[in-house]
Amino acid sequence: MHELGICDALLKMVDQVAKEEQLACVRAVTVEVGTLSGVVPKYLVDCWTAVSDGTPYADTTFSVEVVEGTAKCFDCGQEFAAGINDKLVCPFCGGNKLIPVSGRDLTLKEILAD
């Protein structure tokens, strides 16, 4: 469950930004999660609920936007969209030596405040 640690870190980041920007009330937080990051969006939402409970962010709307990752085939050099649930083989040559190109990140995209 590394989602719990991620949410803990996210909450600290949001808190820091809110203090620096002197935001009175954070209404919504949006994070972007790549399909190759290994993070499960549903768990992330559950964990946010758990870590924000009892904090000023308990009522903050937390949304996750999924960004499709891409991988590159080592054998034929093609790039293609790759999700975590795909059986990771190259759709062009069937090779399984794949290099993740994008979609491994989790980013704090937006903080909406009053």
Sign of the CA dihedral with 105 first, then 31, 49, and 23 last: positive
Question: Could you tell me the smallest distance in angstroms from the CB atom of residue 71 to Zn ion?
Answer: 10
Six-digit token string for 58: 């308990």
**CA atoms of 18 and 112, how far apart (whole Å):** 10
Task: Single out the residue of 31, 71, 73, 98 in contact with Zn ion (rule: CB under 5 A).
Answer: 73
- Give phi and psi for 30, each to the nearest 5: -120, 130
| Site mask for Zn ion (CB under 5 A), range 31-70, x = bound | ----------------------------------------
Closest listed residue to residue 29, CA positions, set 47, 37, 39: 47
State which residue, 76 or 81, has the beta carbon closest to Zn ion: 76
> What is the gyration radius of the CA atoms in the chain, in angstroms?
17
State which residue, 55 or 78, has the beta carbon closest to Zn ion: 78
Question: Which of 91-100 are b and which e, b meaning 16 or more Cβ less than 10 Å from the residue's Cβ?
Answer: eeeeeeebeb
| Site mask for Zn ion (CB under 5 A), range 81-110, x = bound | ---------x-xx-x---------------
Task: Single out the residue of 75, 97, 107, 110 in contact with Zn ion (rule: CB under 5 A).
Answer: 75
List residues binding Zn ion (CB under 5 A).
Answer: 73, 75-76, 90, 92-93, 95
